[in-house]
Amino acid sequence: MARKPKSTEPEKIVYAPVQPQPITETIEKNYMPYVMSVIISRAIPEIDGLKPSHRKLLYTMYKMGLLTGNRTKSANVVGQTMKLNPHGDAAIYDTMVRLTRGNEALLHPLVDSKGAFGKQYSSNMAASASRYTEVKLDSFCAEMFRGIDKDAVDMIDNYDGTMKEPVLLPTSFPNVLVMPNKGIAVGMASDICSYNLGEICDGTIAMLKNPKVSVEKLMSIIKAPDFPGGGDIIYDEEKMKAVFTTGSGSVRIRSRYSYDKQANCIDILQIPYSTSIELILDKITELFKQGKLKEITDFRDEIDLSGFKLTIDLRRGVDPDKLMQKLFKLTPLEDSFKCNFNILIDSTPRQMGVPEILAEWIKFRMSCVRRELTFDLKKKEDKLHLLLGLGKILLDIDKAIRIVRNTEKDADVVPNLMEGFGIDKVQAEYIAEIKLRNLNREYIINRIQEIEELEKEIAAIKEILEDELKLKALIAKQLAEVKAKYGKPRKSYIIHADEIAEYKEEEHIENFNVRLYMTKEGYFKKITLQSLRGNDEQKLKEGDEIAFTEDTDNLGELIFFTDKCQMYRIKVSDFDVVKASAMGDYIPSKLSMDPGEKPIFMRLIDSKSNPEKENMVFFFENGKGVRVPVTSYITKSVRRKLVGAYSDASPIVAAFLEKTNDPFDVMLVSDVDRAIIVKTSLIPVKTTRTSAGVQVFTLKKGQRLVGAYTDFAERFEDTKGYKKIKIPATGILLSEKDIDKQQLKI
């Protein structure tokens, strides 16, 4: 039979009809599980301050005995962690690096490290391979695991069911606000800045004592974030309060620097936590190439074993503080940390402020401590139960031995002991397991002596468990212990926004010679020398007189001390040129001084000034005097206003400037017309600005110092006999002519 030839036509494929699927359903089934996995299991920290990757790594190291043991190779820890975190060795090692002491990313490192782990402030300094570095848990981690072996937290199976791991770590302090954390999930992110451990412990204790404590009270305790990299936090009260209460906002941070006068260079010693040295160098390079930083001759990275340092060499005559204002404006030497306190609470992400976070942590910690105490209570009750059974056989040890010896079957020993002494099975099992050598009166008496102590401990634990206030008191005590043991001073200094001068692009300031005048009533004049040639008769307010006169140029700077213990700084160029016939600027208005505040002394800083060889000399109404080095008034940032310029223990009478190698005589006059003349070198130098000084003029009760003069030869008829070579000194009565002169002036 002939075969039918095969068809050469291609076989037709029949497709099933396409079923439309709404995109919302696709997202819900395929995308949302991924989103929730990233949010809950990877990117967002929980109330213990840790992400799952941190927690799995730390718990693995804890189970390896690395809290008290010696360091081990990082590769060993990474391998063991993969039993809990199967995301690859590189990801685990990167997590470990950030937690180490060597990386300097945390205020309180969790991992004690040996080897090169890179630096948080540098993107180019990478960590050595895990086979070269060694790690163990830092002793600080003992507070992270406090109570974990006492059922303080829930334990769950790992990914393959072969191990148990904690859902959270029972941290004995609010680590969520002490450890800086950053995470990017899907549709949300978390940026938590670090706060000072001591301040956080004190703030939490305040909330434990009073859950309704005010935000203002808490902010007075927890002042501002504290970054591991240090720097200066520019404190803006409104912005800081927004971050504190809502968990959203930004914190401005400035680099900290010092000026080396001998080498004429600026050393940047700390930079904002949110930037890196490479970003700063790149920006300075860009500005230098564009010709916008002509003040600089060179700049370089000088990081070494002693720590961070970025050096900038200056041209001769450049003002370092003014240059830094410019660099703060144009480079990441001033940067902002964007705060976004997103935290998982019961697997739900919530944005919270500091008070709300602390309240949630207190709730969490109370649960941990309650479970820990319950665990201890059960152990102690079980032990007490056994000892009570042991106490019953003390009445007749021979009977117990006889029961065991006369029992034919091993299985009947426990029932016979139960029947013979009226004890339960657990107690009978315990007694049956006691070695024969221990069935003596001494051993049994020693054991049951613990009963009374156990009963006290059990009663104390029950008392705490039944009283929430006592439970909170226990947590507060633990927080105080943590602060005392691990607390550190702030790394980030706080400077107020109104104390710093912002950089502004200014036109070239014309320089010319001027003469400056300040009157006793607080009026100021800047007059060109050319103008003075024609008329040097000064117009003054009635009863006013010239107090200070200085010849300088228009590029100088002025410092004014006031009667309110404050100092103000302003440039000569900020004043307008006036004629001698004008009244001039009223300094309290020009410098926005406090109501009723007046200047008492003016000091010029120009190219001829040498602050290192000068002292300020102050005299007070209580007869005391003090010398303070001018260098004590030099601040790292250019502040227009400095509070606490001198002691406020007594009203100020007069202030003078003294060259350290050229002391001068001052005549002091009291309100009872007595006077002394002393040389300023007799007065001790105090480096603290607010020092009250020493007694110079001995005054009786109710008397006060009313005058201090360096031009006493012009003011008084005869100044012989007033000179004193030791202090304190008693005043000599002024001559009648001098008394009359004083009264006329008054």
623 pLDDT exceeds 70? yes
Residue 73 burial (CB count, 10 A): 15
Instruction: Give me the pLDDT at residue 369, please.
Output: 96
User: Is pLDDT of 737 > 60?
Assistant: no
Cβ neighbours of residue 117 under 8 Å, at least 6 residues apart?
A: 97, 100, 102, 103, 127, 128, 133
The pLDDT, as a whole number, for residue 250 is 94
Give pLDDT tens digits for 378-426: 999 999 998 888 888 877 888 888 888 888 888 888 998 898 888 999 9
Q: Which of 31, 34, 132, 159 is catalytic?
A: 132
Architecture, CATH, for domain 256-332: 2-Layer Sandwich (3.30)
CA-to-CA distance for 228 and 235, rounded, in angstroms?
17
- Which of these ranges, 125-139, 330-344, 430-444, 548-562, has the smallest mean pLDDT? 430-444
Which residues make Cβ contacts (< 8 Å) with residue 385, sequence separation at least 6?
Answer: 426, 427
Question: Measuring CA to CA, which residue among 153, 136, 152 is closest to residue 57?
Answer: 136
Q: How far apart are CA 328 and CA 270, in angstroms?
A: 13
Give the β-pairing of 248-254 and 232-235: antiparallel
- pLDDT at 481 exceeding the cut of 90: yes
Residue 134: its pLDDT value, please?
A: 96
Tell me the three-class secondary structure of 117-161, residue by residue.
ECCCCCCCCCECCCCCCEEEECHHHHHCCCCHHHCCCCEEECCCC
| DSSP3 helix / strand / coil % (the chain, rounded to 5) | 35, 25, 40
Q: Chain-centre distance of CA 256, in angstroms? A: 14
**CATH 3.30.1360.40: which residues of the chain?**
256-332
Q: List, by residue range, all CATH 1.10.268.10 domains of the chain.
A: 374-469
Q: Range(s) for CATH 3.90.199.10 in the chain?
A: 50-170
Work out the number of other CB atoms within 10 angstroms of the CB of residue 298: 10
Q: What pLDDT score does 151 carry?
A: 93
Identify the residue with better confidence: 351 or 188. Answer: 351
- The yes-or-no verdict on residue 4 having pLDDT over 60 is no
User: How far does CA 153 lie from the centroid of its chain?
Assistant: 30
Cis ω before 33 (30° cut-off from 0): no
Phi first, then psi: what are they for 3, rounded to 5°? -80, 145
Classify 524 as helix, strand or coil.
Answer: strand
| Cα atoms in the Cβ-side hemisphere of radius 13 Å centred on 440 | 4
Q: Encode pLDDT of 515-549 as tens digits.
A: 899 998 889 999 888 777 766 678 888 888 888 88
Nearest residue to 503 (alpha-carbon basis) of 364, 629, 611, 637: 637
**Average pLDDT of the residues in 240-252:** 94
Instruction: Provide the pairing of β-strand 624-629 with 342-345.
Output: unpaired
Mean pLDDT, the chain, whole residue set: 88
Report residue 117's pLDDT band, with 50, 70 and 90 as the boundaries: very high
Nearest to 311 by CA among 236, 366, 257: 257
CA 201 to chain centre: 13
The secondary structure element, H or E, covering residue 392 is helix 354-393
Active site residue 132: yes
Model-level pTM greater than 0.75? no
Q: How many CB atoms lie within 10 A of CB 573?
A: 17
Contacts 24+ apart (CB under 8 A), 703-706: 703/670, 703/671, 703/672, 704/621, 704/622, 704/623, 704/670, 704/671, 705/619, 705/620, 705/621, 705/622, 705/623, 705/653, 705/668, 705/669, 705/670, 705/671, 706/621, 706/653, 706/669, 706/670, 706/671
**Distance of alpha carbon 496 from the chain centroid:** 15
Amino acid at 524: F
Q: Which residues of 327-352 are buried (b: 16+ CB within 10 A; e: fewer)?
A: bbebbbbbbbbebbbbbbeeeebeeb
CA distance 254 to 237: 17
Report the C-alpha gap between 620 and 9 in whole angstroms: 116
CA distances from 651 to 658, 684, 694, 705 (A): 21, 20, 15, 10
Whether the pLDDT of residue 746 is over 50: the answer is: no
Confidence of residue 736 (pLDDT cuts 50, 70, 90): low
| CB environment 620-653: b (16+ within 10 A), e (fewer) | bbbbbbbbbbbebbeebbbbebbeebbbeebebb
Please report, to the nearest 10 degrees, the dihedral formed by the alpha carbons of residues 449, 452, 453, 459 taken in order: 160
Please, which pLDDT band fits residue 512 given cuts at 50, 70 and 90? confident
Backbone Cα Rg of the chain: 39
What angle, 0 to 180 degrees and rounded to 10, lies between the N-to-C axes of helices 89-99 and 52-63? 80
Q: What is the pLDDT of residue 432?
A: 86
Stretch 49-73: mean pLDDT, rounded?
94
**pLDDT (mean) for 262-286:** 94
Residue 732 pLDDT grade (very low, low, confident, very high; cuts 50, 70, 90): confident
- Token digits of residue 542: 């009635």
Q: 1.10.268.10, 1.10.510.10, 3.40.30.10, 1.10.520.10: which CATH number matches 374-469? A: 1.10.268.10
User: CA-to-CA distance for 526 and 585, rounded, in angstroms?
Assistant: 9
Lowest mean pLDDT among 230-244, 297-311, 325-339, 703-717: 703-717
Give the separation between CA 129 and CA 118, rounded to whole angstroms.
11
Share of the chain above pLDDT 70, in %: 94
Please state which architecture CATH assigns to domain 50-170. Answer: Alpha-Beta Complex (3.90)
* Three-state secondary-structure class, residue 394: coil
What average pLDDT score do residues 178-182 get? Answer: 94
Task: End-to-end CA distance of the chain: give it in Å, rounded.
Answer: 148
Q: Are strands 729-730 and 697-698 parallel, antiparallel or unpaired?
A: parallel
Greater confidence (393 vs 143) lies with 143
**Residue 231 reports pLDDT greater than 60:** yes
Q: How far is CA 444 from the centre of its chain?
A: 56
Confidence at residue 508, expressed as pLDDT on a 0 to 100 scale: 43
Per-residue pLDDT tens over the stretch 34-53: 777 777 778 899 999 999 99
